[in-house]
Amino acid sequence: TFVNILSSTYSYEEYKETADWLLAHTEQRPKVAIICGSGLGGLGELLGDRNVFQYKDIPHFPTSTVPGHAGQLVFGKLQGRECVCMQGRFHFYEGYNIQTVSYSHCCNCLVLFIRKAKTVFLLEMSCMSTVPEVLVARHCGLRILGLSLITNKVVTEYDSTERANHEEVLKTTERRTLDLQRLVSHLITKI
């Protein structure tokens, strides 16, 4: 599904409204943000004391249209640490612009995490859409740890009969999910 919001920009008031809504709906003040790509949102299921919000219910929050992205913001605790987990991200190939791709970080930086979050984990299969998120998070002074899972090989020949496909990405991710969950669960104890 192609989302036609290429000219969308957000005002300070819209970012603040999103952040204020989240502050009013959860008492959790996470120290760690975990942003999960395709098929990796299961990490959010490991959080205890969970508060789950559908992206569509959060004011001005974009929605993810990619299979394997649940479209939920999950607040909770992992290994005793307060976390927020984005189960799904936003991408340029969905038709979103840079303001929308990085929207969650902007509203987090304004109010919710600016004094609280110490580290952002980016769990993604490729780097294709993490650059804007990293730029915004670093601008806000957050530390970033990006973990990439290579799920399929790149098809480089234009006339090749091989095709990259999202189902292959999800299948590989499913096989490696437990390893990534164990790794992140261990790393979070070191923060």
Catalytic residue among 19, 33, 86, 117: 117
105 is catalytic: no
Catalytic residue among 8, 166, 174, 185: 166
Catalytic residue among 128, 167, 168, 186: 128
Helices (H), the chain: 12-25, 98-101, 103-107, 131-139, 166-188
Question: What sign does the CA torsion over 93, 156, 158, 161 have?
Answer: negative
Catalytic residue among 55, 64, 69, 70: 69
Helices (H), 58-149: 98-101, 103-107, 131-139
Catalytic residue among 91, 108, 124, 125: 91
152 is catalytic: yes
128 is catalytic: yes
Catalytic residue among 64, 102, 104, 129: 129
25 is catalytic: no
86 is catalytic: no
Catalytic residue among 38, 64, 102, 104: 38
Cα atoms found within 13 Å of the Cα of residue 111, Cβ hemisphere only: 15
Cα atoms found within 13 Å of the Cα of residue 46, Cβ hemisphere only: 23
Residues 6+ apart with CB under 8 A from 24: none
Side chain identity at 173, as an amino acid letter?
A: T
Catalytic residue among 45, 152, 174, 185: 152
139 is catalytic: no
Catalytic residue among 27, 93, 148, 164: 93
133 is catalytic: no
148 is catalytic: no
Active site amino acids = 38, 69, 91, 93-94, 117, 128-129, 152, 166
